[in-house]
């Protein structure tokens, strides 16, 4: 799958600092170890690790678009002239834009499914799983996003995260839609 950067940036606060809006993006990542050729890398400031420090590795791995939140920090580690072939995009909030980019990349999958979210202190996994199984037994094609495992109808997709990141959620929702699911139950 590939998409033009300008389309990805639609309805975001992103500003292109350097490069072109017509770059082709084949992959979105916030983990520099998962970068492939023509990837868009989102540098996210974490509590213990700052993704901006991984920009050089992302470029070496093949990223052609880099999204930064901290332009000053990026300036100290990136030689923009040396990397003139890279498109740099500035945003106010990298974590927020990751979800927006994922939504655009996967063509708004949450708008194509009926999503039932279960919140609360106790019983989320049980409730979401029971609803998933009930709707499946009633003949609906359904998906489940839970802390135990994810499902796309009969397929089990293992997880090791309590809450998937926005990129993973959009990818799973898109796969659910592609495979004909009508509903997604998530905790």
Q: What's residue 114's pLDDT?
A: 97
User: What is the per-residue DSSP string for 37-93?
Assistant: TTEEEE--B-SS-BGGGGHHHHHHHTEEEEEES-HHHHHHH--TTTTTTSEEEE-S-
Q: What's residue 148's pLDDT?
A: 86
| CA 126-127-130 angle, 5° bins | 80
Rounded Cα gap, residues 7 and 160, in angstroms? 32
Higher pLDDT, 38 or 76: 38
Q: What's residue 109's pLDDT?
A: 96
pLDDT of 31 > 90? The answer is yes
Residue 178: pLDDT band with limits 50, 70, 90? very high
Q: What's residue 61's pLDDT?
A: 96
Residue 163: pLDDT band with limits 50, 70, 90? confident
Q: What's residue 161's pLDDT?
A: 74
Residue 130: pLDDT band with limits 50, 70, 90? very high
Q: What's residue 171's pLDDT?
A: 95
* DSSP H helix total and E strand total for the chain: 6, 12
The DSSP H or E segment spanning 184 is: strand 183-186
Residue-averaged pLDDT of the chain: 92
Q: What's residue 23's pLDDT?
A: 94
Place of tokens 């609360």: 120
Of 100, 103, 129, nearest in space to 116 by CA: 129
């Amino acid at each position: 799958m590939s998409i033009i950067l300008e389309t990805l940036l639609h309805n975001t606060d992103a500003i292109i600092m350097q490069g072109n809006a017509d770059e082709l993006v084949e992959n979105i990542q916030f983990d520099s170890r998962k970068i492939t050729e023509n990837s868009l890398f989102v540098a996210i400031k974490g509590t213990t690790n700052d993704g901006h420090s991984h920009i050089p590795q992302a470029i070496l791995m093949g990223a052609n678009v880099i999204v930064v939140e901290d332009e000053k920090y990026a300036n100290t580690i990136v030689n923009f002239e040396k990397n003139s072939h890279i498109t740099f995009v500035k945003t106010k909030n990298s974590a927020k834009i990751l979800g927006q980019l994922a939504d655009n990349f996967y063509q708004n999958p949450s708008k194509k499914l009926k999503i039932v979210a279960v919140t609360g202190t106790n019983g989320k996994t049980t409730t979401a799983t029971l609803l998933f199984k009930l709707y499946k037994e009633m003949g609906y094609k359904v998906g489940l996003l839970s802390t135990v495992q994810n499902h796309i109808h009969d397929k089990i997709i293992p997880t090791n995260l309590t809450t998937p990141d926005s990129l993973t959620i959009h990818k799973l929702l898109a796969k659910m839609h592609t495979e004909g699911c009508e509903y997604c139950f998530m905790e």
